[in-house]
C-alpha cells in the first residue's frame, strides 16, 4: 500500500537532492515561489477545498446531519436511499449518511496524527543522523533499518494483533491512538531516510561549507541553513503520506484489526457490509466513496506540493 | 481476514466438542447401499478447512479435523444420518443393568486400513492413551466418568511426576470382541456418548509412532487416508474392507477430497462453479436477500442444527448480583428482539431460541422451556426493569457485552445491544465490545474475569439433552461459564444421570432445564440452522443434524 | 572557392552550385502561457564548404534555436512559422522525417555545450560512438567498435582502446568534448554545428578543443557553424561572423572586418567587453541593460533600450539589414556612425 | 563492488537480528497465553499445556526462546506448529504461490505501468495523458478490496472468463486477475513515476544528442530515453517484490490462494506463533535481500553510482 510509493519517491527525492545540491541554496525563493505556484493551481486548490470540507465535517459533524449515527432500527435494515435518509440504512438499520459524516473524524485524526508523529520522530532522527555523521549516524541508521525491515502490512497485522486487547476499556480515543501509534511506528523510518539524505546533501553543499569557513556557529548553521533546506523533502513526504495513511487505516480496519466500534470508521463499514453487496450496495458504496475522495484529495495536494517544491520539475 | 474469522467461529463454536456423526443412511437400507441403482464411484469435493491438530481422534476437538476423522474412524456407536439417533457402529450391542457397568460387544470382521483386525484391545488401549494425562490429548475429559480416570492424571501442575496408573481401572477386556466399561457413578446416556469420535479405536501402528500417525492416520472407517496437503486439501478413498452397517452402508462414492478454503465466499463461489460438491456453510453474502436459494434452487438445504447461541452473565461480579439482578437479567432477555435478529442479521440462518436445548436433540421439549422470558416485549421488559429497581438493583452505566471478533458475531452482537438499549428505558447502555480472538475471550471467561455479559455458544457433541446440561450448568462443570451453582439443578442432573430408563432420564433433564429460567444467568438467543448447498453432481443427498453430508449414501453422477 | 565547389559537384549528385547550407528568413515561435515568444525573427545566413561561420550572441538571442532548426531537433512547442533551411539546395523543412533522418548525423552533425549531460550517462562512450556506424551504416558490433576506436584516436583521445568501455562520467571535461566531437564527425558530415563547444571548459582546454575542431575541419573540408557568446574564441578559427540579437542577425561580416570596425553598436559592445592584453589597465566595458524579453520585444530596433546611438527612429522603425559594403551587413540605422567611431 | 556487497551483507546481520527479535517478541510475548482458547470452550488440560510448554520452550525467559529460535533457523530447522505440522511444509506450500502471484503482479505493473508512463510522458497534456493521470490517482486511492471485488465481479460473475477462485494447482493463467488486483496501486505509481522520468529526460541533452545523431525516434525513445528513465522504475519494481509478497494478504484471501500472507493471517487468528514467526521472518528476509539487491542493481544500471 502506501509504503512502496513513498519508498520510491524518497529514493527519487534523494537523487534530486544529491544531484542538485546547488538548488538548496535558493531556499527562500523556493518556499515563496512554491506557495505562489500552489495558489494558482486548480489541482491544488480543488483538493484543498475538499479536504477543508472534510476537516469541517470532522470537527463539526453535527452541522451536517441531525441523525444519530448510533440509533438503530432493525426494521429499516438495508433500506435504500430515500428523502428521509439520503444514503439509506445499514444492516443494523442505522443512517448511512450520518455514519459516513461521523466516520470522517477518526479517519482524518488517525491519518494526520500518525503522519505528524512519524514526521516529527522520523525527521528528528534523520536530521540528527545526517548532521552528526560518524558512529551516531551508523547507530541510528541500523536502528532505522530494523524497523524498515518490517513490511508495512505484515508489520501492522502482527503488531495490531498483538496489541488488540480490549479488556482495559480504552474507549474510542484509545482505539484511535493505538492505530495511530502503530502506523506512526511503521511510518517513521521512511521519513528518517529522507531527512537524513536531505541533511547530508545540504551539509555538503558549498554555501554551508562557506558559512562554516566564515566561522558561523553550529547552532546558526543548523537553524539558518540546514533545517530550512532539509525541510522541503520532509514536508513533501508528509503531505503525500496523509492520503496513503488514511487509505492504509481503512485497509487495517477492513481486516478487523484497525479501528473498531465504538469508533465509527469507513473501513469497518465497508468490511461489515461487503458481504451484503448482492443485496444492497449503498452501505458500502457511500463510505467507500467518501474514503476515496478524501484519499485522492490528500494525494493530489501532496502531489502538487511535491511539484511546487521539487526544483527539477519546475 | 474474514475467511479465517468465520472458520474459527465455526470451528471453535462449541468449544470442545464436536460430534462426528457421519453415520448414515437411515432410510436407505440394503446391504450394498446403492440399492437404488445409483451410480457407483466418483469423488466428492467437500468444502473444508485445515485441521488444527494431528488427525488422531482423541486429539481432534474442532470441526475442520473432525470432519476428516469422521470419514476415517468409526466408534462403537454411530448417529443416524437423518435423526441423529444412536445406532450401532463397531459395537454389536452395549448392555448394562445398573447404568454403571456397560458391556460392549464388538462386531467381527472390522479391519483397520492397514489390515489389522479391530479388537477390544484397540479400544481399550486407545482410550487409555487418550485419557493418560502426560499425553496431553485434547479429548481426555471424555473419559472423566470412567473409573480410574483420576489415577491417569498428573499429580502436579507441570506433570513432573508420573500419574499413579497408566490404565483406567474401569476398562476391562473380556475377550477379543468384548470389553466392559465401569463409570464412577450411574450414567444412563453413556451409550449415546459412545458415538463420538473420541471413542474410536486405534491400530497398533499408532502406538509405535503417534506423531507420524497424526500426519498419516490409519482408521477403521469407510474411507482411508491418502494424502494431506496443508492448507490445500486432504484426500481419502473408499476402504474396500469396510463392512458397512444398516444405517451406514458401504459408500457409493470412491473418494472424498476435503478442499480447504480460507474464505466462505470463495468456497461458495466454487460451489456455484461446480468446483466444490458440498458446502456446509453458506456465506452471509449469499444468505442476504435469500440469494443462495435463487442460486442453488433445490440444492439449497436448510434444516435445524444441534447448536445454539446464548449469552451468559458474569453473575459473580458485584455489578450483576444482589437483589433485583435476576429481574434485570429477565428484563434484558425480554428486550432482545430475537425474531428480528434472526431474520435481519442472519437472514434465516438462525431461529429464535425458546429454551436452552437445541430442538434437534433427544429430550428437547416442544415449545421450549424459556417461555415468555424469551419473548420480545417492550412493556413487559420495562416492567421487569422497574421491578428490579424496586428491589434495589442499579445496573452500571455501561454494561459491556463481549464477543470474539474472529467469529462472525459482530453484527448480531451489535444488533442485540441496540435492541436492548432501545427497548429498556433506564440510565445505562449496553456496549458490544469485541475480543480480538476467541482464545483471549475464553481465557478471561475461564479465569472469571468478566465484567458484563458475553456470548457463549454450544455445538452438541452428541444429540442428547444431557450434552446441553451437564457440561454447561452443573456446578463446576467444564464449560459452566457463569460459574453458576444451583443445588436443585445439580440434584436433578445427578438423578437424571442415574436414571434407570431413558425416558426417566429425559424427564429429569427437562426438569433441570426448567430451573434455568429462575436465574437467567444464561439467556438463550438463537438456534443454529444448517444452511448447506451441494453441486449438481450429487444425488441422494442427506444432511445430518450435525450439518454434515451423509457420505455413505450420497452418489455422484455426471 | 571554385575548387571547393567543383569537389562538391563530384561528390553530391544533384547538388546545384551555391552555398552548402542556407538559412533563409527563418522565423521560430514558442507559444507560452503568456503569449508567443518569437525566438527567431527572420534570420538568414549561409555557409560554404570548408568555411567556418561563427554565430555570436547572448543566451536567448536565437542562435541555438536556429541551430536546432537546422538539425531538426527543435523542442516542443517551438515551431518554424516561416522561412527555409536549404542544405545543398534542398529545403530541409519541407522534407519528410524519413528523408531527413539520414542527413542528421550523417551529413549535418552537431555537438553541444555540456558534453557531460549530452552524452548518455548509462552507455559507454565507445558504444555511443559505435552506434553511429551501426545505425547509419549497418556495421556489425565488431566493425563498429573498430571504427569507433579509430575515431577516438582521431580526436586524440589517449589510450582510446582502453577507454572504449568507460562511461562519460569517468572522463574529464575536455576529453568528454573530444568524445562528442568524435561522435559528430564519425560519418564525415558536410556540416558540423558546434553549439558553445568550449563554454564549459577551462581556458587551456578551450584552446585545445578549438584547435582540434579547426584541424578536423581542414582535414575533412566540412562547413563549420560555431555558435558562441564569446567573441574571443572565434577570432582565429572563423571566416565569417553573424551576430544575433533578440532573434535577428544584427551584423554579418568576415571576421577581420568585424574586429577591425564593427558596424553595429551591439557588436561594438561585445568587442569592447573582451579583456585584451594590449589595453591593460583600461576599464572593461560591459553592455548596459539586460537582453530583451522575447514576449515583450521593444518596438523598432530591439537593441534601442541599450543603445548609445539611439535616436527616435530606432524606437519606431525596425532597421533592415543594410549593405555595409563587401559581404558586410548591419541592421543599424546608424551603422555609418558606428563604423566611423570604431576607426 | 565486492567489498561493498560484503559490507552491506554484514550490515544486514544486526538488522535481521533486530527485526526478527521484534517479530518474535510481538508474536510470542504480547498476546494472551497461546493455549487459552486452543481447547475450545473448556480450558486446556494442564498436561496439555505442560507438554506444549516443554516442546516450545515456553518456560524459558523470552530472550532464551529467541536464541533457540534463531539457532534453529540458522540450521534450517523451522520447527513444527502447535498442531505438529512441520512449518517447512507450510512454507513449501505457501511460498511458491505467493512468489508466483507477486511475479505476475510485478510483470503486470511493469508492462502496463511503464507502457502508460512512456506514452503519456512523451505526449503530455493530451487526452490520454489526462486519462492516465486521473485514473492512476483513483487506482492509488481506491482501497484494494474494492478493486478486488470489482474485478472478480466483472471477470467471473459478468464475463465468466475466470473461475471465482484460484485452484490448488495455482496455474499462472489463473493468477492474471489476482495479480492485476495486487498490482493496481504500484501500477498507477509506476505509470506516474515513468511519466515524470520520461518527461524529464525527454528534454535532457543526451536525448537531443541522440536525435542529432540521426537515430530514429523508436531508437531514441526505446534505447536512450527508456534506458535512463527506467532506472528508478526498476529499483521501485525490485523493492516492490518484497512489498507485494508481504502485502498479498487481501488478494490471497479474496481469491483463496494458499499463500504466505493468508497462512500468517490464519495462524495469527489461531494464535499459532510457531507458524507466524518463521513465515514472517522469511518475508522479512526476502524484503531485506531485495533491498540489498536493488541497491547493487542500481550500481549496475547507473554507472554514475560508485560504491565506496
Buried b (16+ CB within 10 A) or exposed e, B293-309: bebbeebbbbebbbbbb
CA dist B295 to B287, B536, D148, Å?
10, 12, 22
Give the pTM: 0.75
Tens-digit pLDDT profile for residues B427-454: 899 988 888 777 778 878 888 889 999 9
- Give the list of residues 6+ apart from residue D78 with CB closer than 8 angstroms, or none: D72, D86, D87, D88, D91, D278
Asked whether the beta carbons of residue A296 and residue D288 sit closer than 8 angstroms, the reply is no
pLDDT of the residue at D108:
93
On whether the CB atoms of residues D236 and A4 are closer than 8 A, the answer is yes
Higher pLDDT, B149 or A6: B149
Asked whether the beta carbons of residue D214 and residue C119 sit closer than 8 angstroms, the reply is no
pLDDT at position A12 over 60? no
pLDDT of the residue at D151:
82
Contact list, A273 vs chain D (CB under 8 Å): none
- Distance from C-alpha of C252 to C-alpha of C241, rounded to nearest angstrom: 6
Contact list, B5 vs chain D (CB under 8 Å): 269
- Domain boundary assignment for chain B: 38-271+535-557, 305-530
Find residues 30-49 of chain B whose CB sits inside 8 Å of chain A. Answer: none
- Domain boundary assignment for chain C: 105-238
Q: Which of B66, B276, B442 to mutate: most D Cβ within 10 Å?
A: B442
Q: What is the pLDDT confidence band of residue C340, given thresholds at 50, 70 and 90?
A: confident
Q: What is the pLDDT confidence band of residue A18, given thresholds at 50, 70 and 90?
A: very low
Domain B38-271+535-557 belongs to what topology? D-Maltodextrin-Binding Protein; domain 2 (3.40.190)
pLDDT of the residue at B26:
32
B351 grid coordinates: 431461529
Q: What residues does C22 pair with on adjacent strands?
A: C46, C86
- 8-state DSSP, B255: E
Closest CA to A290 of A92, A86, A119: A86
Tens-digit pLDDT profile for residues A46-78: 999 999 999 999 999 988 888 888 888 888 888
Strand, helix or coil at C88?
A: coil
Tens-digit pLDDT profile for residues A205-240: 777 777 777 777 777 777 777 777 778 788 888 888
pLDDT of the residue at B114:
93
pLDDT at position B91 over 90? yes
pLDDT at position B384 over 90? yes
Are B and C neighbours with ≥3 CB pairs closer than 8 A?
no
- Distance from C-alpha of A182 to C-alpha of B17, rounded to nearest angstrom: 38
Tens-digit pLDDT profile for residues B358-368: 998 888 988 88
pLDDT of the residue at B524:
95
Tens-digit pLDDT profile for residues A293-310: 998 888 888 878 877 876
pLDDT at position D153 over 60? yes
A82-96, B8-22, B58-72, C144-158: the lowest-pLDDT one: B8-22
Asked whether the beta carbons of residue B275 and residue D42 sit closer than 8 angstroms, the reply is no
On whether the CB atoms of residues A127 and A195 are closer than 8 A, the answer is yes
Strand, helix or coil at C108?
A: strand
Average pLDDT, chain D: 81
Provide φ and ψ at B255, rounded to 5°: -155, 160
Determine the average pLDDT of the residues in C57-70. Answer: 85
pLDDT at position D261 over 80? yes
Determine the average pLDDT of the residues in B125-145. Answer: 88
> Helices marked H in chain C — which ranges?
2-11, 63-71, 97-100, 115-118, 125-137, 141-154, 160-163, 173-184, 203-220, 231-234, 255-260, 265-272, 312-316, 335-342
Closest CA to D109 of D47, D191, D29, D177: D191
Give D124 to chain C, closest Cα distance, Å. 11
Contacts 24+ apart (CB under 8 A), C251-256: C251/C328, C251/C329, C251/C330, C251/C331, C251/C332, C252/C45, C252/C321, C252/C327, C252/C328, C252/C329, C252/C330, C253/C324, C253/C326, C253/C327, C253/C328, C253/C329, C253/C330, C254/C326, C254/C327, C254/C328, C255/C54
Q: What is the pLDDT confidence band of residue A23, given thresholds at 50, 70 and 90?
A: very low
C62 grid coordinates: 536565437
Quick count: other Cβ atoms within 10 Å of Cβ C202? Answer: 12
What is the share, in percent, of chain B residues with pLDDT greater than 70? 92
Determine the average pLDDT of the residues in A139-167. Answer: 79
- Distance from C-alpha of B337 to C-alpha of B417, rounded to nearest angstrom: 10
What is the share, in percent, of chain B residues with pLDDT greater than 90? 52
Give how far the C-alpha of residue A75 lies from the chain's centroid of Cα atoms, to the nearest Å. 39
Higher pLDDT, D41 or A11: D41
Closest CA to B142 of B198, B97, B99: B198
Domains assigned to chain A: 84-294 (1.10.3720.10)
Q: Angle between the B502-519 and B465-473 helix axes, to the nearest 10 degrees?
A: 50
Q: What residues does B175 pair with on adjacent strands?
A: B178
DSSP per-residue letters across B458-521: EE-SSSBHHHHHHHHHSTT-TT-TT----HHHHHHHHHHHT-SSHHHHHHHHHHHHHHHHHH-S
Closest CA to C114 of C226, C201, C3, C222: C201
pLDDT at position C1 over 80? no
- 8-state DSSP, B365: P
pLDDT of the residue at B381:
94
pLDDT at position D207 over 60? yes
D133 grid coordinates: 493521470
- 8-state DSSP, D225: I
CA dist B73 to B43, B68, B156, B364, C281, Å?
19, 9, 33, 29, 113
pLDDT of the residue at B87:
92
Average pLDDT, chain B: 86
- Distance from C-alpha of C271 to C-alpha of C232, rounded to nearest angstrom: 8
Contact of B337 with chain A, judged by CB distance below 8 Å, is answered with: yes
Within 13 Å and on the Cβ side, how many CA atoms surround C201? 25
Q: Does domain C105-238 have CATH number 3.40.50.300?
A: yes
Contact of B151 with chain D, judged by CB distance below 8 Å, is answered with: no
For residue B3, give the nearest of D44, D93, D253 by CB distance: D253
pLDDT of the residue at C50:
86
Determine the average pLDDT of the residues in C230-254. Answer: 85
A50-59, B127-136, B390-399, C300-309: the lowest-pLDDT one: C300-309
For residue D141, give the nearest of A8, A296, A313 by CB distance: A296
Give B5 to chain A, closest Cα distance, Å. 9
Determine the average pLDDT of the residues in A105-119. Answer: 93
User: How many interface pairs between A and D have CB atoms less than 8 angstroms apart?
Assistant: 141
Asked whether the beta carbons of residue C135 and residue D209 sit closer than 8 angstroms, the reply is no
Indicate whether this complex's ipTM tops 0.90.
no
- Distance from C-alpha of C86 to C-alpha of C99, rounded to nearest angstrom: 14
Domains assigned to chain D: 20-74 (no CATH), 94-301 (1.10.3720.10)
pLDDT at position B6 over 70? no
Sign of the CA dihedral running A239, A240, A242, A245:
negative
Determine the average pLDDT of the residues in C223-235. Answer: 83
Give D216 to chain C, closest Cα distance, Å. 7
- 8-state DSSP, C318: P
Q: What is the pLDDT confidence band of residue B9, given thresholds at 50, 70 and 90?
A: very low
- Distance from C-alpha of A50 to C-alpha of A43, rounded to nearest angstrom: 11
Q: What is the pLDDT confidence band of residue B72, given thresholds at 50, 70 and 90?
A: very high
Strand, helix or coil at C329?
A: strand
pLDDT at position C107 over 60? yes
Closest CA to B2 of B386, B283, B235, B375: B283
pLDDT of the residue at C328:
87
Give A254 to chain B, closest Cα distance, Å. 8
Tens-digit pLDDT profile for residues D162-192: 776 777 677 888 888 889 988 988 888 888 8
- Distance from C-alpha of C83 to C-alpha of C38, rounded to nearest angstrom: 13
- Distance from C-alpha of B290 to C-alpha of B302, rounded to nearest angstrom: 12
pLDDT of the residue at B235:
95
Question: Domain spanning B305-530 has what CATH number?
Answer: 3.10.105.10
D95 grid coordinates: 511460498
Closest CA to B63 of B23, B4, B19, B3: B19
What is the H or E stretch that residue B234 is in? strand B233-238
Tens-digit pLDDT profile for residues D63-93: 888 888 888 888 888 888 777 778 888 888 8
Q: What is the pLDDT confidence band of residue C326, given thresholds at 50, 70 and 90?
A: confident
On whether the CB atoms of residues C179 and C171 are closer than 8 A, the answer is yes
pLDDT at position A13 over 60? no
pLDDT of the residue at A77:
84
Tens-digit pLDDT profile for residues B98-116: 888 999 999 999 999 999 9
pLDDT at position C23 over 80? yes
On whether the CB atoms of residues B513 and B356 are closer than 8 A, the answer is yes
Asked whether the beta carbons of residue B159 and residue D250 sit closer than 8 angstroms, the reply is no
pLDDT of the residue at B32:
41
pLDDT of the residue at D33:
67
pLDDT of the residue at D41:
58
pLDDT at position B205 over 90? yes
pLDDT of the residue at B131:
92
Tens-digit pLDDT profile for residues D213-237: 888 888 888 888 888 888 888 878 8
pLDDT at position B483 over 70? yes
What is the share, in percent, of chain A residues with pLDDT greater than 90? 17
On whether the CB atoms of residues B555 and B34 are closer than 8 A, the answer is yes
pLDDT at position C123 over 90? no
Contact list, A99 vs chain B (CB under 8 Å): none
Q: What is the pLDDT confidence band of residue B31, given thresholds at 50, 70 and 90?
A: very low
Tens-digit pLDDT profile for residues C171-187: 888 888 889 888 888 88
| Alpha-carbon dihedral angle through residues B331, B333, B339, B344, given to the nearest 10 degrees | 100
Amino acid at each position: 500500500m502506501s509504503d512502496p510509493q513513498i519508498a520510491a519517491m524518497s529514493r527519487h527525492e534523494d537523487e534530486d537532492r544529491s544531484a542538485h545540491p546547488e538548488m538548496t541554496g535558493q531556499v527562500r525563493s523556493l518556499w515563496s515561489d512554491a506557495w505562489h505556484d500552489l495558489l494558482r493551481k486548480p489541482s491544488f486548490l480543488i483538493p484543498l477545498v475538499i479536504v477543508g470540507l472534510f476537516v469541517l465535517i470532522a470537527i463539526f459533524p453535527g452541522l451536517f446531519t441531525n441523525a444519530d449515527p448510533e440509533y438503530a432500527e432493525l426494521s429499516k435494515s438495508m433500506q435504500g436511499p430515500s428523502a428521509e435518509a439520503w444514503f439509506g440504512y445499514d444492516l443494523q438499520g442505522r443512517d448511512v449518511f450520518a455514519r459516513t459524516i461521523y466516520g470522517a473524524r477518526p479517519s482524518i485524526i488517525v491519518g494526520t496524527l500518525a503522519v505528524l508523529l512519524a514526521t516529527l520522530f522520523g525527521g528528528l532522527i534523520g536530521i540528527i543522523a545526517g548532521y552528526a555523521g560518524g558512529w551516531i549516524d551508523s547507530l541510528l541508521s541500523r536502528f532505522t533499518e530494523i524497523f524498515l525491515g518490517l513490511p508495512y502490512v505484515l508489520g501492522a497485522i502482527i503488531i495490531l494483533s498483538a496489541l488488540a486487547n480490549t479488556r482495559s476499556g480504552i474507549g474510542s480515543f484509545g482505539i484511535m491512538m493505538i492505530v495511530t501509534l502503530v502506523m506512526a511506528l511503521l511510518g517513521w523510518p521512511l521519513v528518517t531516510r529522507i531527512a537524513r539524505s536531505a541533511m547530508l546533501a545540504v551539509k555538503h553543499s558549498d554555501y554551508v561549507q562557506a558559512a562554516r569557513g566564515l566561522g558561523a556557529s553550529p547552532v546558526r548553521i543548523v537553524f539558518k541553513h540546514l533545517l530550512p533546506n532539509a525541510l522541503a523533502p520532509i514536508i513533501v513526504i508528509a503531505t503525500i503520506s496523509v492520503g496513503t495513511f488514511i487509505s492504509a487505516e481503512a485497509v487495517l480496519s477492513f481486516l478487523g484489526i484497525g479501528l473498531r466500534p465504538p469508533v465509527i470508521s469507513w473501513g469497518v463499514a465497508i468490511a461489515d457490509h461487503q458481504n451484503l453487496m448482492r443485496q444492497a450496495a449503498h452501505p458500502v458504496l457511500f463510505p467507500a466513496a467518501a474514503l476515496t475522495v478524501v484519499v485522492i484529495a490528500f494525494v493530489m495536494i501532496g502531489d502538487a506540493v511535491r511539484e511546487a517544491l521539487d526544483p527539477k520539475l519546475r | 481476514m474474514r475467511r479465517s474469522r468465520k472458520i474459527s467461529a465455526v470451528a471453535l463454536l462449541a468449544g470442545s466438542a464436536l460430534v462426528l456423526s457421519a453415520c448414515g443412511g437411515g432410510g436407505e437400507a440394503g446391504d450394498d447401499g446403492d440399492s437404488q441403482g445409483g451410480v457407483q464411484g466418483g469423488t466428492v469435493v467437500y468444502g473444508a478447512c485445515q485441521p488444527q491438530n494431528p488427525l488422531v481422534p482423541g486429539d481432534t476437538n474442532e470441526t475442520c479435523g473432525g470432519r476428516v476423522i469422521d470419514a476415517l474412524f468409526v466408534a462403537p456407536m454411530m448417529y443416524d444420518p437423518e435423526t441423529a439417533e444412536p445406532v450401532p457402529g463397531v459395537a454389536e450391542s452395549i448392555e448394562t443393568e445398573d447404568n454403571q457397568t456397560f458391556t460392549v460387544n464388538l462386531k467381527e470382521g472390522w479391519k483397520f486400513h492397514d489390515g489389522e483386525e479391530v479388537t477390544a484391545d484397540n479400544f481399550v488401549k486407545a482410550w487409555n492413551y487418550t485419557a493418560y494425562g502426560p499425553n496431553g490429548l485434547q479429548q481426555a475429559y471424555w473419559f472423566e466418568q470412567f473409573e480410574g480416570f483420576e489415577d491417569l492424571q498428573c499429580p502436579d501442575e507441570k506433570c513432573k511426576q508420573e500419574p499413579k496408573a497408566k490404565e483406567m481401572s474401569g476398562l476391562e477386556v473380556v475377550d477379543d470382541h468384548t470389553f466392559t466399561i465401569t463409570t464412577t457413578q450411574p450414567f444412563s446416556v453413556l451409550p449415546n456418548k459412545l458415538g463420538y469420535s473420541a471413542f474410536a479405536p486405534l491400530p497398533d501402528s499408532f502406538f509405535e509412532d503417534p506423531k507420524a500417525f497424526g500426519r498419516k492416520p490409519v482408521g477403521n472407517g469407510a474411507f482411508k487416508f491418502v494424502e494431506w496437503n496443508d492448507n490445500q486439501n486432504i484426500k481419502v478413498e473408499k476402504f474396500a474392507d469396510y463392512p458397512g452397517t444398516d444405517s451406514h452402508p458401504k459408500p457409493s462414492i470412491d473418494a472424498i477430497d476435503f478442499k480447504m478454503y480460507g474464505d466462505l465466499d470463495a468456497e461458495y463461489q466454487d460451489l456455484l462453479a461446480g468446483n466444490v460438491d458440498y458446502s456446509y456453510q453458506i456465506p452471509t453474502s449469499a444468505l442476504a436477500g435469500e440469494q443462495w436459494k435463487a442460486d442453488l434452487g433445490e440444492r439449497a438445504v436448510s434444516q435445524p442444527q444441534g447448536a445454539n447461541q446464548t449469552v451468559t452473565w458474569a453473575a459473580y461480579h458485584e455489578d450483576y448480583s444482589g437483589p433485583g439482578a435476576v429481574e434485570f437479567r429477565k428484563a434484558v432477555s425480554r428486550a432482545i428482539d430475537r425474531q428480528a435478529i434472526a431474520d435481519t442479521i442472519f437472514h434465516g440462518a438462525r431461529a429464535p431460541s425458546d429454551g436452552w436445548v437445541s430442538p434437534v436433540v433427544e429430550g428437547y421439549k416442544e415449545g421450549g422451556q424459556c417461555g415468555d422470558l424469551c419473548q420480545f416485549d417492550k412493556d413487559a421488559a420495562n416492567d421487569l426493569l422497574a421491578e428490579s429497581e424496586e428491589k434495589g438493583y442499579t445496573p452500571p452505566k455501561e454494561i459491556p457485552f463481549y464477543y470474539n471478533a474472529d467469529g462472525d458475531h459482530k453484527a448480531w452482537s451489535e444488533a442485540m445491544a441496540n435492541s436492548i438499549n432501545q427497548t429498556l428505558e433506564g440510565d445505562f447502555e449496553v456496549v458490544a465490545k469485541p475480543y480480538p480472538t476467541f482464545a483471549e475471550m475464553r481465557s478471561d471467561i475461564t479465569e472469571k474475569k468478566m465484567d458484563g455479559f458475553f456470548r457463549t455458544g454450544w455445538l452438541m457433541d452428541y444429540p442428547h439433552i444431557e450434552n446441553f446440561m451437564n457440561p454447561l450448568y452443573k456446578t463446576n462443570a467444564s464449560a459452566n461459564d457463569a460459574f453458576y451453582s444451583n443445588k436443585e439443578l445439580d440434584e436433578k442432573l445427578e438423578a437424571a444421570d442415574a436414571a434407570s430408563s431413558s425416558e426417566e432420564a429425559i424427564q429429569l433433564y427437562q426438569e433441570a432445564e426448567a430451573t434455568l429460567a429462575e436465574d437467567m444467568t444464561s439467556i438463550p438467543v438463537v438456534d443454529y440452522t444448517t444452511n448447506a448447498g451441494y453441486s449438481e453432481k450429487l444425488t441422494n443427498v442427506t444432511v445430518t443434524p450435525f450439518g454434515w453430508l451423509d457420505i455413505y449414501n450420497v452418489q455422484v453422477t455426471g | 572557392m571554385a575548387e571547393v565547389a567543383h569537389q562538391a559537384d563530384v561528390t553530391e549528385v544533384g547538388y546545384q552550385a551555391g552555398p552548402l547550407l542556407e538559412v533563409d528568413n527563418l522565423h521560430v515561435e514558442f507559444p507560452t502561457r503568456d503569449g508567443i515568444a518569437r525566438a527567431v525573427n527572420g534570420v538568414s545566413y549561409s555557409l560554404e564548404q570548408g568555411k567556418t561561420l561563427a554565430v555570436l550572441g547572448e543566451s536567448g538571442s536565437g542562435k541555438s534555436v536556429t541551430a536546432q532548426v537546422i538539425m531538426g531537433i527543435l523542442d516542443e512547442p517551438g515551431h518554424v512559422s516561416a522561412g527555409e533551411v536549404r542544405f545543398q539546395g534542398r529545403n530541409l523543412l519541407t522534407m519528410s522525417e524519413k528523408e531527413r533522418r539520414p542527413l542528421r548525423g550523417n551529413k549535418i552533425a552537431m555537438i553541444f555545450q555540456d558534453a557531460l549531460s549530452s552524452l548518455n550517462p548509462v552507455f559507454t562512450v565507445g558504444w555511443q560512438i559505435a552506434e553511429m556506424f551501426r545505425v547509419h551504416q549497418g556495421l556489425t558490433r565488431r566493425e563498429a567498435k573498430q571504427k569507433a576506436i579509430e575515431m577516438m584516436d582521431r580526436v586524440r583521445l589517449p589510450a582510446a582502446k582502453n577507454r572504449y568501455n568507460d562511461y562519460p562520467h569517468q572522463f574529464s571535461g575536455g576529453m568528454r568534448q573530444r568524445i562528442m566531437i568524435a561522435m559528430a564527425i564519425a560519418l564525415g558530415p558536410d556540416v558540423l554545428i558546434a553549439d558553445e563547444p568550449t563554454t564549459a571548459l577551462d581556458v587551456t582546454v578551450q584552446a585545445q578543443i578549438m584547435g582540434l575542431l579547426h584541424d578536423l575541419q581542414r582535414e575533412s573540408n566540412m562547413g563549420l557553424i560555431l555558435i558562441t557568446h564569446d567573441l574571443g574564441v572565434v577570432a582565429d578559427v572563423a571566416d565569417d561572423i553573424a551576430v544575433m540579437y533578440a532573434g535577428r542577425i544584427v551584423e554579418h561580416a568576415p571576421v577581420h572586418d568585424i574586429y577591425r570596425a564593427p558596424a553595429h553598436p551591439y557588436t561594438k559592445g561585445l568587442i569592447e567587453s573582451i579583456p585584451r592584453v594590449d589595453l591593460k589597465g583600461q576599464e572593461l566595458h560591459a553592455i548596459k541593460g539586460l537582453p530583451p524579453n522575447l514576449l515583450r520585444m521593444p518596438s523598432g530596433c530591439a537593441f534601442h533600450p541599450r543603445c548609445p546611438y539611439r535616436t527616435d527612429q530606432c524606437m519606431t522603425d525596425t532597421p533592415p539589414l543594410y549593405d555595409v559594403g563587401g559581404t558586410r551587413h548591419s541592421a543599424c540605422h546608424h551603422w555609418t556612425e558606428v563604423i566611423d567611431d570604431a576607426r | 563492488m565486492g567489498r561493498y556487497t560484503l559490507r552491506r551483507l554484514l550490515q544486514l546481520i544486526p538488522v535481521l537480528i533486530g527485526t526478527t527479535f521484534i517479530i518474535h517478541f510481538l508474536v510470542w510475548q504480547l498476546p494472551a497465553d497461546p493455549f487459552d482458547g486452543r481447547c475450545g470452550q473448556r480450558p486446556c488440560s494442564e498436561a496439555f499445556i505442560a507438554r506444549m510448554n516443554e516442546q516450545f520452550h515456553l518456560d524459558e525467559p523470552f530472550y532464551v526462546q529467541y536464541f533457540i529460535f534463531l539457532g534453529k533457523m540458522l540450521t534450517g530447522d523451522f520447527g513444527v506448529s502447535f498442531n505438529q505440522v512441520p512449518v517447512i511444509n507450510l512454507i513449501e506450500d505457501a511460498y511458491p504461490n505467493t512468489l508466483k502471484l507477486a511475479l505476475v503482479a510485478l510483470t503486470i505493473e511493469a508492462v502496463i505501468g511503464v507502457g502508460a508512463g512512456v506514452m503519456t510522458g512523451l505526449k503530455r497534456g493530451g487526452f490520454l495523458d489526462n486519462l492516465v493521470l486521473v485514473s492512476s490517482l483513483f487506482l492509488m486511492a481506491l482501497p484494494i478490496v474494492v478493486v478486488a471485488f470489482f474485478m472478480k465481479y466483472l471477470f467471473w460473475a459478468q464475463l465468466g472468463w475466470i473461475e471465482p477462485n484460484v485452484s490448488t494447482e495455482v496455474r499462472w493463467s489463473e493468477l492474471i486477475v489476482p495479480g492485476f488486483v495486487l498490482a493496481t496501486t504500484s501500477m498507477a505509481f509506476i505509470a506516474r513515476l515513468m511519466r515524470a522520468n520520461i518527461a524529464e529526460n525527454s528534454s535532457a541533452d543526451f536525448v537531443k544528442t541522440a536525435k542529432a545523431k540521426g537515430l530514429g525516434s523508436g531508437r531514441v525513445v526505446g534505447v536512450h530515453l527508456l534506458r535512463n528513465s527506467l532506472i528508478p522504475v526498476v529499483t521501485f519494481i525490485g523493492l516492490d517484490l518484497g512489498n507485494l509478497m508481504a502485502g498479498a494478504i487481501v488478494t490471497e484471501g479474496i481469491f483463496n490462494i494458499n499463500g504466505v500472507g493468508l497462512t500468517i493471517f490464519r495462524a495469527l487468528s489461531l494464535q499459532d506463533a510457531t507458524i507466524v514467526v518463521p513465515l514472517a521472518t522469511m518475508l522479512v528476509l526476502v524484503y531485506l535481500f531485495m533491498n540489498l539487491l536493488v541497491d547493487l542493481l542500481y550500481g549496475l544500471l547507473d554507472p554514475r553510482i560508485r560504491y565506496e
